[in-house]
């Protein structure tokens, strides 16, 4: 069985730009969630998708948005990038409440 794949692995963007991060879920997993991990911190929940519908959101502004596709892959979009958006973005997929598999993340640097 394949794991969770995230792309790109690293990304540098300029403040004010928009970015799209991608996540390919583990086979058979219909739930995907995204986390932001700032340097030296634990991951913070951004949102979760279940069967293409958002079913939970953390304390992040609307410029953080997402999509889940019929094949259960997912995108995280961030508009109007700010310097504080620089972080490791982790995607996790699951087929049940507790069995989550994390990807290796995308390191986003905003300059």
Partner 1 sequence: AQKITQTQPGMFVQEKEAVTLDCTYDTSDPSYGLFWYKQPSSGEMIFLIYQGSYDQQNATEGRYSLNFQKARKSANLVISASQLGDSAMYFCAMREFTGNQFYFGTGTSLTVIP
Sites of contact with partner 1 (CB under 8 A): 33, 35, 40-45, 48, 55-56, 58, 88, 90, 92, 97-98, 100-105, 107
Supply the DSSP string of 39-69, one letter for each residue.
TTS--EEEEEEETTEEEEE-S--TTEEEEE-
**Among residues 57 and 63, whose Cβ is nearest to partner 1?**
57
Q: Distance of alpha carbon 3 from its chain centroid, rounded? A: 15
Q: CB 106 → partner 1: shortest distance, Å?
A: 9
**Among residues 13 and 107, whose Cβ is nearest to partner 1?**
107
Those residues whose C-beta lies under 8 Å from the C-beta of residue 100, and which sit 6 or more positions away, are 33, 92, 93, 94
Q: CB 27 → partner 1: shortest distance, Å?
A: 17
Q: CB 16 → partner 1: shortest distance, Å?
A: 26
């Amino acid at each position: 069985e394949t794991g969770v794949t995230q792309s790109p692995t690293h990304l540098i963007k300029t403040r004010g730009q928009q970015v799209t991060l991608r996540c390919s879920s583990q086979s058979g997993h219909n739930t995907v969630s995204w986390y932001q991990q700032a340097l030296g911190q634990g991951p913070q929940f951004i949102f979760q998708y279940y069967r293409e519908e958002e079913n939970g959101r953390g304390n992040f502004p609307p410029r953080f948005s997402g999509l889940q596709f019929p094949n259960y892959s997912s995108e995280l979009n961030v508009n109007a990038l700010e310097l504080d958006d620089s972080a490791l973005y982790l995607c996790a997929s699951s087929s049940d409440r507790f069995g989550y598999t994390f990807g290796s993340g995308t390191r986003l640097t905003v300059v």
